[in-house]
Structures are given as structure tokens and as C-alpha cells.
Amino acid sequence: MTAGTPNALTKIITNGEFLPEVLGLQLPDVTTIEDWARIGDRVRLVGRSMGWIVGDWLNFGEDHFGEDYAQYAENCGYDPGVLSTYQTVAKRFAPEQRHPDVSFSHYRLLVRFTDAKVAKWIDKILDGKLSVSQLRDLIAEKEAAGEEEEAERGRPRVTKITAKWDKRIPKTDRERIETYLTREGAEVKISV
């Protein structure tokens, strides 16, 4: 991309009206209050959608470009754990499963549940206007009371893994799987 050429995200956000930069935003002095408010709505929308945008972008890259995607994703400047989370949540919840009034962070907490359980949690989120921290606390309460199983999607709880990777599996996929298992509390020892 050459200097001064708006990137695709800039065009999506702005229709060319302003140029977001690494350290902020530049608006022309002639911006009207109506334009300023409309731009604010777009910025808010992109802010709320960023997890979905990055996750969908990564999943598209993985589906269409294989190892080339993995190499780029490794060097794009995002923390690998954050990328893994974005990708996992976006893959788990297709666009038609996402509710516009439920944040990406809410869905991140629901990723391990069955579709039926997710629907019930979404109803609770919408009915009770639950924040992410309130949802986290409510899930923890229900799990402590035995009302929710920790591995809801029928997966056994893994505590220790010792294995050998097939060398054909891309490094980023191996790291993502190891990060997930470690985050879930497993002791992971996998060699190549």
C-alpha cells in the first residue's frame, strides 16, 4: 500500500471521509456535526466488530491460502494468543449465529457451549442486559452449583498430553492448539 492510498478497512469505515492513523484520527476542519456523528457511528461499529473482522479475516486466509496465510498471520503484529481467540470465536459462530446486540467478548465466553445452550445464554444476555463480567460471573456460579458442565460440548477434560506432531501441520496451527490446551489447564508436551 502506498502512502495516502486508503486501505480496504479505511474505505469500509469512512467512505473516504477521514483517514484513521496508528495514533489517532484526522478529520478535516470543514467536517459538519452531522458528518462527525455519522463517522462516530462507524467508528463505534468497527470497534465493536473488530474481533469478528480479524477472526473472519484469519479464517478466510486459512481457508483460501493455507500456509501462506499462516506465515503472514505470524508476522502481522498481533499477539498469537489474541489471533487464536479471534479466529476460534469467529469460526465457532458463523455470521448468521451472531446477534448485533451481543458483543464479541460475550461470545468468547460462550464458545464452549452447544448451540442450544448458547441460545439460552444469548436470551439471558439480552433480557438482563448482562455485561461481559456479569455473564462470566453467572456462568461461574452455575458451574460451581453444578448447573453447567465445564466441557459442555461433550469433550472430555484434558489434563495431560504427550504426543508428536505431524510435520505437515503448519506451525501456527500447532501453536494455536497448544495455546488452547494450555489455557484449558492441560500440561502439554508435544514434539515435532
Q: pLDDT tens digit string along 77-115?
A: 778 888 888 999 999 999 999 999 999 999 999 999 999
SS3 99: coil
pTM: 0.64
**Residue 3: which residues within 8 A CB-CB, separation 6 or more?**
none
φ and ψ at 25, to 5 degrees? -145, 135
pLDDT for 109-166, tens place per residue? 999 999 999 999 999 999 988 899 999 999 988 888 777 654 444 444 445 555 566 6
Instruction: Give dist(CA 162, CA 145) in Å, integer.
Output: 32
* Whether the Cβ atoms of residue 107 and residue 98 lie closer than 8 Å to each other: yes
User: In angstroms, rounded to a whole number, what is the distance separating the alpha carbons of residues 61 and 164?
Assistant: 26
